[in-house]
Amino acid sequence: MSLKKSYSIKSDDFDTTITASNAVWRIDGVVGNKTRMSINLGVYKDTSMEKKIGQRTFDFQPSVADDAKNFIAQGYDHLKTLPEFDGAQDC
């Protein structure tokens, strides 16, 4: 699973912003415990996932209930609650 959402890179040196409109955000790593999980996202130029153009980290409190989704699925669900990922599409 991954999310498709645009990604913008601002260059202060050149006073310009470059946007990858079909960027793919994929959870590349999960670290944590029952009170806090950190998800490391790789941002890729497109669905080929050949060119990594950025990375971000987000934290959330996971569910450890017996019927809970796995931590990666919970991570994507958390991302979809954030204003930054409003309009993101599953891919």
Distances in Å between the Cα of 66 and the Cα atoms of 24, 25, 28, 70, 74 are 31, 28, 24, 10, 14
Question: So what's the pLDDT on residue 9?
Answer: 85
Question: So what's the pLDDT on residue 64?
Answer: 92
Question: So what's the pLDDT on residue 15?
Answer: 83
Low-confidence ranges of the chain (pLDDT < 70): none
Question: So what's the pLDDT on residue 10?
Answer: 86
Whether the model pTM is above 0.85: yes
Angle at 29 between CA 27 and CA 31, to 5 degrees: 125
Question: So what's the pLDDT on residue 4?
Answer: 95
